[in-house]
């Protein structure tokens, strides 16, 4: 038999967008789930050490509980697959997403008011969490206008999505300072000139996913703009938490948006003002 030499397609030249990079983590988790189902079907169970004779492995645990070294195997599989798809000439984007960079640039030619011109790649990132979609809609509005990269915080645990439990468990998680883990961020925020941090207000403050983001120093010496989305428009405490959590950066401005989903025109005006500020202050210095 001739010696086997693995020969994966060279995808070193493929650069994934931050959004696709974030997808890596979800795919990696699913790779693990699929692997675990397969193992269990073959009769494997959890054991503290791997023992092929007893069909036991320490990796039959939820993805979040795996050591980083094991997660990296799954991440590599996910990353290589995504890169290969792009290398083969396919485009991957959310089904509901009609605005691509190309379409945006095309639209900008006709309507200058739609974009803020000089925003270039790596000028602006929007880090956000959204449970019910309003903050996400604001983040997407910003992307549509500027081509900013979106970095969505994805917690491992969230309250139920409907009924009273949503407010009860969500509010309780803030009041009792319950912690959650967020999926690994696949982009380096230090690469950007300015970063918008957008968060819903929960029980007057930040949801656990945003707390988890603040817990680790993710960037330094950056121009940061804060957006708090709430039902009442009262997000001062959340803004304070985010400002404190991002010490070592420059908090350039903070904005309260009340029910942004219910007042899109007003929201758009405020966002336009913010983007003008970002352009005039953070992007004008070099
Ligand atoms: C668990 C929970 C707690 C909330 N607590 C508050 C609050 O204390 N004050 C407020 O004005 N709005 C509160 N809201 C409303 C949200 O802040 C508001 O709807 C926000 O726009 C939601 O953002 P999202 O759609 O991106 O998740 C709460 C919503 C949830 C789900």
Q: Whose CA is nearest to atom 3 of ligand 1?
A: 202
pLDDT of residue 211: 97
Query: CA 204 from chain center: how many Å?
Result: 22
Regarding predicted confidence, which is higher, 117 or 37? Answer: 37
Answer yes or no: is pLDDT of 207 > 90. yes
Average pLDDT over residues 8-23: 88
Q: Assign domain 101-281 to its CATH architecture.
A: 3-Layer(aba) Sandwich (3.40)
Q: How many residues does the chain have?
A: 286
On whether the CB atoms of residues 121 and 146 are closer than 8 A, the answer is no
Which one is predicted more confidently, 98 or 151? 151
pLDDT-derived band at 168 (thresholds 50, 70, 90) equals confident
The rounded radius of gyration (Å) of the Cα atoms in the chain is: 21
- For a mutational test of ligand 1's pocket, the pick from 129, 230, 236, i.e. the residue with the most ligand atoms closer than 8 A to its C-beta, is 230
Name the architecture of domain 18-87. Orthogonal Bundle (1.10)
The larger pLDDT score, comparing residue 26 to residue 250, is at 250
Distance 55 CA to ligand 1 centre (A): 47
Please tell me if the domain spanning 18-87 has the same topology as the one spanning 101-281: no
Q: How confident is the model at residue 269 (pLDDT cuts 50, 70, 90)?
A: very high
Instruction: Name the pLDDT band for 123 (thresholds 50, 70, 90).
Output: very high
Residue 103 has pLDDT above 60, yes or no: no
- pLDDT at residue number 2: 82
pLDDT category at 162 given cuts 50, 70, 90 is confident
Binning pLDDT at 50, 70 and 90, where does residue 99 land?
very low
Q: Which are the contacts of 286, defined by CB distance < 8 A and separation ≥ 6?
A: none
**Between residues 221 and 112, which one has the greater pLDDT?**
221
Nearest Cα residue to 136 out of 147, 150, 148? 150
Pocket mutation for ligand 1, best pick of 127, 157, 231 (most atoms within 8 Å of C-beta): 231
Domain ranges of the chain: 18-87, 101-281
pLDDT at 167: 86
Q: Round to whole Å and give the CA distance between 272 and 250.
A: 21
Q: How far is the CA of 196 from the centre of ligand 1 (A)?
A: 19
* 133 CB near ligand 1 (under 6 Å): yes
Mean local confidence (pLDDT), 83-89: 92
Residue 193 has pLDDT above 60, yes or no: yes
Atom of ligand 1 nearest to the CA of 138: 26
The pLDDT value given to residue 115: 54
pLDDT at 217: 85
Instruction: Specify the range with the lowest mean pLDDT, choosing from 55-59, 97-101, 150-154, 264-268.
Output: 97-101
Ligand 1, atom 8, lies closest to the CA of 203
Query: For all residues of the chain together, what is the average pLDDT?
Result: 89
Which residue has the least CA distance to atom 18 on ligand 1? 230
> Probe ligand 1: pick from 202, 235, 241, 261, max atoms within 8 Å of CB?
202
| pTM greater than 0.85 | no
Strand partners, 226: 197, 254
Question: What's the gap in Å between 255 CA and the centre of ligand 1?
Answer: 15
Answer yes or no: are the C-beta atoms of 12 and 83 closer than 8 Å.
Answer: no
């Amino acid at each position: 038999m001739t010696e086997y030499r693995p020969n994966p397609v060279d995808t070193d030249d493929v650069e994934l967008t931050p959004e696709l990079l974030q997808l890596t983590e979800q795919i990696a988790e699913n790779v693990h789930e699929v692997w675990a189902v397969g193992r269990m079907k073959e009769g494997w169970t959890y054991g503290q050490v791997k023992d092929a004779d007893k069909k036991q492995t320490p990796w039959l645990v939820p993805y979040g509980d795996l050591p980083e070294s094991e997660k990296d195997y799954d991440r590599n599989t996910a990353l290589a697959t995504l890169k290969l798809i792009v290398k083969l000439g396919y485009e991957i984007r959310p089904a509901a997403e009609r605005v691509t960079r190309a379409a945006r640039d095309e639209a900008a030619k006709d309507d200058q008011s739609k974009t803020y011109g000089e925003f270039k790649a790596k000028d602006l990132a929007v880090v956000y969490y959204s449970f019910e979609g309003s903050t996400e809609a604001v983040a997407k509005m910003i992307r549509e206008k500027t081509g900013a990269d979106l970095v969505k915080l994805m917690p491992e645990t969230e309250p139920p999505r409907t009924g009273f439990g949503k407010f009860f468990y969500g509010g309780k998680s803030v009041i009792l300072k319950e912690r959650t883990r967020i999926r690994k961020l696949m982009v380096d925020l230090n690469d950007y000139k300015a970063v918008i941090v957008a968060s819903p207000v929960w029980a007057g403050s930040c949801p656990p996913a945003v707390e988890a983001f603040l817990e680790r120093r993710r960037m330094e010496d950056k121009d940061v703009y804060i957006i708090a989305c709430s039902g009442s428009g009262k997000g001062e405490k959340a803004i304070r938490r985010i400002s404190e959590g991002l010490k070592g950066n420059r908090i350039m401005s903070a904005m309260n948006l009340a029910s942004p989903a219910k007042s899109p025109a007003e929201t758009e005006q405020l966002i336009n003002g913010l983007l003008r500020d970002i352009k005039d202050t953070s992007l004008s210095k070099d």
